[in-house]
Amino acid sequence: MTSHRPFLPLLPALLALSTLYTGHALAARPFVTDDARLTTGGSCQLESWTRLYRNSQEFWALPACNPGGNFEVTAGGGRARNDGEAATSDYVLQGKTLFRPLTTNDWGWGLAVGKVMHPGVNPGPNLLGNTYFYLPASFSFNDDKLIVHTNLGMLHDKASDRNSATWGIGGEFQLTPRLLGIAESFGDSRHNPYWQVGARYAIVPDRVQIDATIGQQYNGPTASRWLSFGLRLTPDKLF
């Protein structure tokens, strides 16, 4: 499996920043690394974002619902276009449950299993294969001033009939009551890993958030660098 070392230079900075800020954070967009939390029971959410590369663009919309309280279903997709080429689309279906929910100054973990139809949208930076699973684990420190998320999993690529181990590690910290900073590293066992840093701002706390990140593949070409902008809508109970 690919080493986690590319993230280690980021961790001391996150730990230092965590001693300066207060407040409660919820992991979501713009992370690729998932967290040990679910959409509010009896409700749904929408995460959407665009990722811009030098020679291509992609757009994602992933609605998720949690009707029973401990099983979240995500069904959505992405669309990408390389300059001078026809657009391609992916469709994602995923289920996620928790074995131990994350609470303040504690930890939690769960399981997510998913399938991607017609994969073609930059699978590396999205950690996607035709079928995949991962174990999300989250750790809260210093009254949620710092929350660290880790993922370990596996994906299968149908075209090559190959399996790859996947991993991710990320930290979130609060800069102001409405502004969160994030940093993460993630990848699989067959390619150089990726990094991204950014921020999320709550326009309406716990309801409407926007985010922006910059990221790139370690030792990758300039063309692997991206800018990402996202929107997350998290209404209260709907049913």
Q: What is the Cα–Cα distance from 186 to 67, expressed in whole angstroms?
A: 30
Residue with token string 């609470």: 103
Domains of the chain and CATH, by start: 5-233 (2.40.160.40)
Helix (H) or strand (E) holding 50: strand 43-52
- Cα angle 186, 187, 188 (rounded to 5 degrees) comes to 150
Q: What pLDDT is recorded for position 10?
A: 44
Reply yes or no on whether the pLDDT at 149 is more than 90: yes
CB neighbourhood size of 209 (10 A): 23
> What is the DSSP code (8-state) at residue 105?
T
Q: Over the stretch 32-89, which tens digit does the pLDDT of each residue have?
A: 999 999 999 999 999 999 999 999 999 999 999 999 999 999 999 989 888 888 888 8
Is pTM beyond 0.85? Reply is no
